[in-house]
Structure 1
Amino acid sequence: MVDFVKALMNPDFQFLANALIMGILASISFGIIGTYVVTRRISYLAGAISHAAFGGIGMALYLSRTFDIAWLDPIHGAMVFAVGAAVITGMISIHSREREDTVIGAIWSVGMAMGIVFIDMTPGYFELSSFLFGDILLISSNDIVLITILDVVILGTVMLCYNPLLAVCFDDEYAMLRGINAHGYYIFLLCLTAVTVVLMVRIVGIVMVIALLTLPAAIAGKMTKRMLPMMSLAVFLCMLFDTAGLAVSFVNGISTGPTIILIAGISYLAVMIFYRIRN
């Protein structure tokens, strides 16, 4: 840990300071949106959205290389696919008689398959591990700006739409009886989740982003049943996991994203065991 602190103070390790800043800023969005995801019980839906984003990454790489579109970044394709998957899944779950788990499974698998096919068709070699498993050490100043904007948007949304989103998370029918457009807010929540997932892929990757989105909020939900305290605690826990994972991975020379998830997973298991024993 001492080596980690010294490295943070070393100007030659600016990438490490950027990673720490990114982890702290990302925790705000993860904690808030994760609380809604856990409360609304749409964790697997968020997972399907994150995996559907891989199709957008593959499409963006294919188009940029094949047609020489220099400005097209994989994150652009991921955003389109993730938001599209959120809207489609939400509309189907609201208006269709199809089982929601079937829709989630289809979007999950089709998104990944499309991404792989597009990448197979793309000339050249790509290192996809940063998209699949994340690499917070590659964070740039532009990424920090994007996450800061996302935090502002999410905090503003919570302040403006706290009560409607709260009602939608706990009881759709009650919300509609009170004149709230529950379906509209549900789709809006899914879109916010999609944007958060895409912008956080750089930290822990598509495969594991759902864990960091849900584990801190799930732990917070064991400690409090009120929404605002749960959000605050989830943000704090996410910051703690990100910082601890960054420090452990740096000192031991191992991958940062998986380390963060392991720490979060062990913490969740410990909390579950503690509450089970106490009860």
Structure 2
Amino acid sequence: MIWDWITAPLQYEFMVKALLVSGFVGMVCGVLSCYMTLKGWALMGDAVAHSVTPGVVLAYVFNFPLAVGAFIFGVGSVLLIGWIQSQTRIKEDTVIGLVFTGFFALGLVLISKTPSNVDFLHILFGNLLGIPTSDVIQTVVIGLFTLAVIFVLKNDLLLFCFDPTHARSIGIDINWLYYVLLTLLSLTIVVALQAVGIVLVVAMLVTPGATAYLLTDRFDRMLILAIFSGLGSSVLGTYLSYYLDASTGGCIVLVQTLVFLLVMVFAPKYGLWRRRV
């Protein structure tokens, strides 16, 4: 019975492709989510995710790859946030809220005014079951590049996220790492767009790391647990979307949220049940 449940969707090529892509995206997001959790950048991830919307629409209008438009506007939103913060007395979280809502609103206006045979709602909510092969290749290439950069700079990025003051004191250029991490964030959002869309991508960038953070105090173990959480939740969510005939991105994020809630209650050291006992 269980074996039939597992193998039935594999008879369809689109499901095999969706499972592979969702697992890969979950793994990439799981890795970056550890750094996002330590840095406390959940709101920044949400800002960049929503800010890529007008870039996607303009890339379609001018016949550029959608990933290019998304990346340019993602990085551009970060630069704009930094510039406004440096020129005014407004705090960072307020600036982030202003920029990402403004960019997202611009994207919605462009969507409503752009005649197209492309359903832009797929950009907002994902289109994993209908992802073309060209987008699969693009996702894999960008994802592998992101993982490679994280692997090369993992120690510097960890110190920057955990204790930027100490990182500066030993000669690490934290301003450079700041923009490197934001660039990696933009690239990862581009990777996850096809899977869960702009609206839900922040969950994949935060939930695996937050889940792993409740299970261990060691970063290397946290990284492994986040990868398994992101990958497993993505695959299971894709299966559930097949059997429930529901939104694939929504099912993936729902599974991740349920896993987090279980860990929050039953984690052996930091779980609510353990603390009460």
TM-score (norm 1): 0.90
Match of 2:156 in 1: 164
The partner residue of 2:95 within 90, 98, 103 is 103
Contact 1:90–1:187 under 8 Å retained in 2: no
Match of 1:201 in 2: 193
1:5 aligns with 2:7: yes
Cα shift at 1:270 = 1.8
Contact 1:91–1:187 under 8 Å retained in 2: no
Match of 2:73 in 1: 81
Q: Aligned partners of 1:29, 1:88: CA distance in 2, in Å?
A: 26
Match of 2:17 in 1: 18
Match of 2:220 in 1: 228
The partner residue of 2:107 within 100, 115, 122 is 115
1:262 aligns with 2:264: no
1:18 counterpart letter in structure 2: K
Contact 2:54–2:103 under 8 Å retained in 1: yes
The partner residue of 1:213 within 197, 205, 210 is 205
Contact 2:193–2:201 under 8 Å retained in 1: yes
Q: Deviations over 1:51-101 (max 9, x none)?
A: 00012123234x33xxxxxx3243322121012113333455578643011
Q: Deviations over 1:31-58 (max 9, x none)?
A: 1111111110001101000000012123
TM-score (norm 2): 0.90
Match of 2:119 in 1: 127
Q: How many residues align?
A: 269
Q: Aligned partners of 2:174, 2:15: CA distance in 1, in Å?
A: 42
Distance verdict in 2 for CA 1:209–1:241, change over 3 Å: same
2:40 counterpart letter in structure 1: R
Structure 1: 5+ residue stretches without partners? 65-70
SS of the residue corresponding to residue 233 of structure 2 reads helix
Which piece of structure 1 moves more, 85-94 or 150-159?
85-94
Q: Aligned partners of 1:146, 1:164: CA distance in 2, in Å?
A: 27
TM alignment of 1:25-104, pairs within 5 A: 25-61=24-60, 63-64=61-62, 71-90=63-82, 97-104=89-96
Match of 1:277 in 2: 273
Cα shift at 1:199 = 2.0
Contact 1:87–1:191 under 8 Å retained in 2: no
Q: Deviations over 1:188-207 (max 9, x none)?
A: 10110011112211101100
**Percent sequence identity over matched residues?**
30
Which piece of structure 1 moves more, 214-223 or 21-30?
21-30
1:278 counterpart letter in structure 2: R
Q: Deviations over 1:125-170 (max 9, x none)?
A: 6522211111211123223322322333233223321221111101
Structure 2: 5+ residue stretches without partners? none
2:44 counterpart letter in structure 1: L
Contact 2:146–2:188 under 8 Å retained in 1: no
Q: Aligned partners of 1:150, 1:126: CA distance in 2, in Å?
A: 23
1:254 counterpart letter in structure 2: A
- Give the RMSD, CA atoms, in angstroms: 1.9
Match of 1:68 in 2: none
